[in-house]
Amino acid sequence: MSTKALSASTHWIGGEAVAGTTDLIDVVNPATGEVVSRVPSGTAADVDRAVAAATAAFPGWAATDPAERAAVVGRISEGLRNRLEEIATTITSEMGAPITLSRQGQAGLPIMVAATFAGLAAGFNWTEEIGNSLVVREPIGVVGAITPWNFPLQQIVSKAAPALLAGNTAVLKPSEIAPLTAGILAEVAAEAGLPAGVFNVVHGTGPVVGEAIAAHPGVDMVSFTGSTRAGRRVSAVAAETVKRVALELGGKSANVILDDADLAQAVQHGVAFAFSNGGQVCGGWPRMLVPASLHDEIVELAVAAAAEYTVGDPADEATRLGPMASEAQRRRVDGYIRRGVADGATLAFGGPGKPDGFHEGAYVRPTIFTHVAPDAVIAQEEIFGPVLTIIPYVDDDQAVEIANSTMYGLTGAVFGSEDRALSIARRLRTGQVDVNGGQWNPLAPFGGYKQSGNGREFGRYGIEEFLETKSIQR
């Protein structure tokens, strides 16, 4: 793990490390309970300083040629690549992601995303002629970014790369649970030639620093990723200054397995997307919708697949499931597992309590419930842990009805014959649907319907999120 002062004990404001108050927040390794670092507990005054730095830097950065802005973002990607192992081990220590996942996803994905955005600048339509009008796409201004702990660096880069490419400056509040890679990114960005004040980091809690960013009159836009409850609060606070708010919130996505699907493929993918990152993925698939006639066969396949998910020390290369990101999250997930048992769902795998041999650390048992009612609490509320609910349906219409029955609409999946699966995918009220394990595309938009949010990330859609539109008549 990095022990540099930047990532351990400072904000980053105006291009330099800035000490906070004497109040510090412990960063805890959830596998051991050990305090691995501390970050300052920021204040509204720290946010004021960061916004002032971002405001001062905005005119120069906005006037920089997009090609040069893209070159800086590209160098940031390379700088992150050069520190991949440091990033991976840092994330494993601060939030418990297994080291193999940390290398491939937690560290590897933001490197790819930043490079992808850098490559889009040349072909992006920054201006457009419509009749006698010149339509110009311009940066919004100062962007406040508030990011979660489950994919700490990836969620930051998904906002910072397009926002900076579009010519904005930024003030970031990373999660206080997993804040350390924000410091690494700030250091890499400075080395890449990003001017001082363009990217600023203020550590702290949501109720203090997050609310100060959302309410600040000098912040022109807030981009938030986190829970739906917290997203509602950000929207309410930001409404006072009528700033733009982009929200990427929770999910309770459904994996619909049709009766003509390749069951082995569908279940293998389904369990993987339910348990990946310990189930702490807003776009995961915690609900598996299955034909009633195939329920028992699919349960048998799912239990066999779940048995392959080795729980263990996240620093061990063989571990597939580490701890939850915090003890609070462990208690939350375990509470939902106990609720499922109490409400009468059939426990097919796992269950409440810690796995055998894990007396220390924020570990839970990977769990599968079957014969789950569509309106059960564990089928409706976001658990954010390795808990899969298997729900039977009688026909395609009921499958669609159940899939659409939650307040969320972030992602989903359908497995079956191609035309039929595509037809079902079109009927799902969700922002992204994978058909038969379709590969993730960093150029395609990602974002939710309903209470899963209102923004879009990735590709040109991610750049457009951070631009104003001006028309000039001639």
> How large is the average pLDDT for residues 425-445?
97
Respond yes or no: is residue 248 known to be catalytic.
yes
| Band (21; pLDDT cuts 50, 70, 90) | confident
- Taking phi over 0 as left and psi of -120 to 50 as alpha, with beta for the rest, 186 belongs to alpha
Helix (H) or strand (E) holding 136: strand 133-139
DSSP string, 301-364: HHHHHHTT--B--TTSTT-SB---SSHHHHHHHHHHHHHHHHTT-EEEE--SSPPTT--SSS--
Q: Does the pLDDT of residue 3 top 60, yes or no? A: no
Share of the chain above pLDDT 90, in %: 97
CATH number corresponding to 254-441: 3.40.309.10
Contact between 1 and 93 under an 8 Å Cβ cutoff? The reply is: yes
- Catalytic entry in 176, 187, 248, 457: 248
Over the stretch 262-278, which tens digit does the pLDDT of each residue have? Answer: 999 999 999 999 999 99
Spell out the domain ranges in the chain. Answer: 5-249+453-473, 254-441
> How large is the average pLDDT for residues 183-195?
97
Question: Cα torsion for 341, 312, 280, 307, to the nearest 10°?
Answer: -60
Q: Does the pLDDT of residue 181 top 80, yes or no? A: yes
| CATH superfamily, domain at 5-249+453-473 | Aldehyde Dehydrogenase; Chain A, domain 1 (3.40.605.10)
